[in-house]
Structures are given as structure tokens and as C-alpha cells.
Amino acid sequence: MNELDARAILFSSIEGGHSFWSAEIYGSTALEIYEKLKNGHYDTIKYAPLIKEISSKSADEVLSSIAISNARLIVPGDTFWPSKVEDLATPPIALIAKGNLDALGTNSLAIVGTRNPTNYGARIAGDFAAGFVDRQWSIVSGGAYGIDSFAHKGALIAEGSTIAVIACGIDINYPAGNARLFEEICESGALLTEVMPGHRALPHRFLTRNRLIAAISQATLVVEAAFRSGSLRTARDAAEMMRPVMAIPGPINSPTSEGCHRLIGERAAEIVTSVADAVEFIGINQ
């Protein structure tokens, strides 16, 4: 048993974004936490299900189940580990990645927004993605319909790389309609997840996924978002890590721009109206 093996087993047994276990592992080592669990150093009644689960697994089984999907487990110290995720209050135990993993080491901009964008929002997402790709940046988003898809496609059309951080197993195309897009993303960029293969997307996994989008990116741009939106959570996660946050203004009577106007009004995001604006703002904050 080594550190990679211990992380593999713990990663496969603990739901992503678990604040207690994340703190325990990053405050020590995965191997030490694994051994303490096995040897009864934690409450054996409270953590009985977890102890039973890790005792029934082998690292080889976990790693093989990931490799079947042409993916790999990456952990701290790995060449491809995006170390910026360690700025999170609850950094991931490990991540599963597929595609061109070199993309994980590039400067990147997160572009997020509604699943039901206007034509204006769709065009803006694609234009900003292309503009940053032209400057050798990667584009990060969540692989969902709407703004996410237009951001990914904008990067690909500009012949750049993009990273989709998904809320399900690496072997599951969710949403199914983006299966072809995910294949194209893997050619120059990567798919990234904190969920084991075979596990479906669940509501809480989108929230924990959003923090990863913010963490692996130098800055976050919200294109269109409703007043209550997961995209605003991504923006606030970025702000908590002192990363630049920007928002695109829209018509004052547009429901899809209410979230952006809220961020701008609360001084939680800088208003930007062009790629040049965004580049200048990010430069000031780096």
C-alpha cells in the first residue's frame, strides 16, 4: 500500500467535497488516514459503513475500473495534477481525467452560465472563448447544455483546448446530447471529474463540481445566469479564492441576465463588454 493506492481507495469511497475527510487527508497523508480508519482510530460505529467499504476494496480494482474508460486517476504530486485546486476549502482527494492532460497545466478561463441562453448569450460565450484561445488560454466549463456548450464549442472552433468538468462518472455522457462534443474535447483538451465511473449526476454533485471549475481557472466569466443559479455559486467560489470574477451585462429586463446584474450590483464581479476588457482586468489582478 502506498499513497496513490490509499488515495484511490479513499477517493472511491468518500463523496467529493466532504469537508471533514478532505481536511483530514490534506492535514496528514491519505495512507495515514487509511491506516487509522482500518485500525479503529476513528469512531468505529459512526464510520462503520466507510470502514467496511474501504476494507472491501483494492487499489488495483479501483484503478482498473478507471483505466477501462481510457482515463486515469491523478493525485497531488502527479505531473498533471492541477495544483490550484488545493486553494479550495475542500480540495479533492483525487481527480479522474481523460484526454490531453497537458491542458490541465495551461492558463485557463472558466466561462459559465445558464442552460437556456439567448442568442446573445450563446454568441458572447463563443466569442470570449475564441478570444482567449487566441491568447493561448484554455476554456473551462461544465459540459452542460447552454452557455457551457457554446463556450466549449467556441474554443474548439478556434482550434484551442477546453476542459469539461463533469458531475458524473467519466464513462457517462451527461447530457447525452453532448456525447460528440465530449469526444471532440478529448482530442485537444480534457474531461475531468471527482466521481467514480458508473456514478450518475446528482443535484449535489453539480454544486461540488462548480467549485472545481472555479479552482482550476485563473478567472471566471459569467455570461448569462438567472437570479438563483449554480453559475453564481461558481463565481462566489472563485471570489473566495481571490480569483478575478467578471460578468457580461444584458438587457435590464432579461431574466437570463439577472444573475450577472446581481453580481455586478453587489460588486462581486467586474463588468466586462469585450475580450480586451477581460484580458486587462485579469492582468490587473494577477
Tens-level pLDDT at each residue, the chain (286 residues): 899 999 999 999 999 999 999 999 999 999 999 999 999 999 999 999 999 999 999 999 999 999 999 999 999 999 999 999 999 999 999 999 999 999 999 999 999 999 999 999 999 999 999 999 999 999 999 999 999 999 999 999 999 999 999 999 999 999 999 999 999 999 999 999 999 999 999 999 999 999 999 999 999 999 999 888 889 999 999 999 999 999 999 999 999 999 999 999 999 999 999 999 999 999 855 5
Q: Which three cell numbers stand for residue 53?
A: 467499504
pTM reported for the whole predicted model? 0.94
pLDDT of residue 284: 59
Contact indicator for 139, 111 with CB cutoff of 8 Å: yes
Contact indicator for 53, 43 with CB cutoff of 8 Å: no
Contact indicator for 21, 10 with CB cutoff of 8 Å: yes
pLDDT of residue 229: 84
Strand partners, 139: 109, 162
Domains present along the chain, CATH in parentheses: 3-70 (no CATH), 101-285 (3.40.50.450)
Angstrom CA distances, 272 to 150, 257, 264, stand at 18, 13, 10
CA 169 to chain centre: 13
| Contacts with 81 (C-beta within 8 Å, 6 or more apart), sequence order | 74, 75, 95, 104
Instruction: Tell the burial category of 27 from Cβ atoms under 10 Å away from its Cβ (0-12, 13-18, 19+).
Output: exposed
| Contacts with 38 (C-beta within 8 Å, 6 or more apart), sequence order | 51, 54, 55
Establish how many alpha carbons lie within 13 A of residue 91's alpha carbon, considering only the half-sphere containing its beta carbon.
Answer: 21
Q: Which of 258, 6, 252, 260 is nearest to 112 (CA)?
A: 260
pLDDT of residue 227: 85
Strands 219-222 and 162-166, bridge-based pairing: unpaired
CA 135 to chain centre: 22
Helix segments in the chain, DSSP class H? 3-13, 19-26, 30-38, 48-55, 59-67, 119-133, 147-157, 179-188, 203-215, 230-240, 258-265, 275-285
Q: DSSP assignment, residue 118? A: -
Q: Which of 156, 75, 74 is nearest to 111 (CA)?
A: 156
